[in-house]
């Protein structure tokens, strides 16, 4: 079967094509994030200005999610993803033009990254909701595993490739590669067939709900379903605690080892996440998806406990890689539960609210973890 016929067929093959395009696009975005981070730090020497890039990349996507979810449920989901990728591609073009003219300033980067993040708030719920309509219910966990594997692969490869490419084609070339990956993702989306959910048609003369009201509907929906509400609470707590571990592992290792050894340990963690995603995409996870969440949770906890027991590269490497290995099963099982339990017509709003609540705790945890790392670092010294 030709690629065009596979795209037109819809279903899991169409999902696989979209997934591949998004993985490539995420890899390109990772190249640009690394390159502009290096550029900002080299031109300012400020760690604060460097970390503000991550702040601008995260905050708009999280806090605009409820409104983005309402728009996703109103609009055609395939076209919404095309809009999101096209807007992100446009920001890369603007960045290259400013670089070529010698006019790029740090505030330009903050603004462009924030704009791209705002449009990303449309991409995530649209892709999740489209996946529900493309993938058979029994393969939801497998699809979630593929997404986790793709994210891990981009995380592993992007800094390696960007470090090499910066020396060969400079920052402009790296950003142009990112633009090319956006074009590939948009082309796939333009050709693929994504079914639309059945939407309720308002009664004649009835007022259309406001965007504000629809943005809040996701919370009402979740609050009325105790199972989903408690699952969301679990992940909100997890996303409050996990950043502490992710931040503290770096000063822990550097308190007795060098940056090269730190890189190897972080690489082991990323490799664990990739293998976990690969396993979920081939195995499909446990039939009872709740068992995937409850089964992975204790292993995640044990992994972090082992990593923090003593200042040893062996202990930290084993614990960290174990924690990252089971994380894809936790996330993919949770995603499959949400896709199975939430009606397709409202998934944009519900998934966006889920993202807001589950991830909003993360930035606050990072803010608190930094001072905590400074406070505890003397205690991490061996002996």
CB 162 within 8 A of CB 37: no
The count of other CB atoms within 10 Å of the CB of residue 364 is 11
* Residues 46 and 100 sit within 8 Å (Cβ to Cβ): no
**Which residue, 121, 330, 349, is CA-closest to 235?**
330
pLDDT at 252: 74
- Per-residue pLDDT of 276-294, as tens digits, reads 999 998 888 888 889 999 9
- Predicted local distance difference test score (pLDDT) of residue 119: 93
Residue 376: what pLDDT? 62
pLDDT at 83 (0 to 100): 96
DSSP 382: -
196 contacts 11 by C-beta, under 8 angstroms: no
The packing angle between helices 226-254 and 313-341, to 10°, is 160
Quote the CA–CA distance of 258 and 273 in Å, as a whole number: 23
pLDDT for the residue numbered 50:
76
**pLDDT attached to residue 240:** 77
Identify the segments of the chain with pLDDT beneath 70: 1-10, 47, 201-207, 247, 250-251, 259, 361-383
Backbone torsions φ then ψ of 310, nearest 5 degrees: -155, 155
* pLDDT tens, position by position, 7-41: 555 688 899 999 999 999 999 998 898 889 888 88
Residue with tokens 């590939």: 184
DSSP secondary structure letter of residue 2 = -
Model confidence over 121-180: pLDDT tens digits?
999 899 999 999 999 988 999 999 999 899 888 887 887 888 888 888 889 999 999 999
pTM across the whole model: 0.81
| DSSP structure string for 269-337 | HHHHHHHHHHHHHHH---SSHHHHHHHHHHHHHHHHHHHTSSS-HHHHHHHHHHHHHHHHHHHHHHHHH
What superfamily in CATH does domain 3-194+212-380 come from?
MFS general substrate transporter like domains (1.20.1250.20)
Half-sphere exposure of 379 (CA within 13 A, CB side): 8
Q: What local confidence, expressed as pLDDT, does residue 332 receive?
A: 92
Distance CA 125, CA 299 (A): 29
Q: Would you state the pLDDT for residue 28?
A: 93
DSSP state of 263: H
């Amino acid at each position: 079967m030709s690629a065009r016929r596979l795209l037109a067929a819809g279903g899991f093959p169409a999902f696989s094509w979209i997934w591949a395009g998004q993985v490539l696009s995420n890899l390109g975005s990772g190249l640009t994030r690394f390159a502009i981070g290096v550029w900002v730090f080299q031109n300012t020497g400020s760690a604060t200005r460097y970390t503000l890039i991550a702040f601008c990349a995260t905050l708009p996507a999280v806090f605009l999610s409820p409104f983005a979810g309402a728009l996703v449920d109103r609009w055609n989901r395939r076209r919404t993803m095309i809009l999101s990728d096209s807007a992100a591609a446009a920001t890369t073009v603007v960045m290259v033009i400013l670089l070529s003219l010698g006019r790029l300033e740090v505030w330009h980067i903050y603004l462009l990254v924030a704009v791209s993040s705002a449009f990303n708030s449309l991409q995530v719920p649209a892709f999740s909701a489209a996946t529900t309509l493309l993938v058979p219910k029994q393969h939801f966990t497998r699809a979630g595993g593929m997404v986790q594997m793709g994210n891990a692969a981009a995380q592993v490869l992007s800094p390696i490739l960007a470090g090499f490419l910066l020396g060969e084609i400079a920052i402009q070339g790296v950003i142009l590669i990112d633009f090319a990956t956006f074009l590939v993702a948009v082309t796939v989306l333009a050709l693929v067939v994504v079914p639309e959910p059945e939407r309720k048609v308002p009664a004649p003369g009835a007022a259309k709900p406001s965007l504000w009201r629809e943005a809040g509907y996701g919370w009402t929906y979740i609050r009325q379903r105790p199972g989903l509400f408690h699952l969301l609470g679990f992940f909100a707590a997890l996303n409050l605690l996990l950043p502490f571990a992710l931040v503290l592992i770096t000063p822990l290792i550097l308190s007795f080892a060098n940056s090269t050894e730190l890189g190897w340990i972080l690489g082991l963690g990323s490799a664990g996440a990739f293998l976990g995603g690969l396993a979920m995409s081939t195995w499909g996870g446990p039939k009872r998806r709740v068992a995937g969440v409850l089964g992975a949770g204790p292993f995640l906890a044990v992994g972090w406990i082992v990593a923090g027991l003593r200042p040893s590269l062996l202990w930290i490497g084993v614990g960290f890689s174990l924690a990252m290995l089971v994380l894809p099963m936790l996330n993919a099982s949770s995603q499959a539960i949400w896709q199975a339990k939430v009606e397709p017509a409202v998934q944009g709003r519900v998934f966006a609210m889920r993202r807001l609540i589950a991830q909003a705790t993360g930035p606050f945890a990072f803010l608190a973890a930094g001072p905590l790392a400074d406070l505890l670092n003397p205690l991490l010294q061996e002996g």
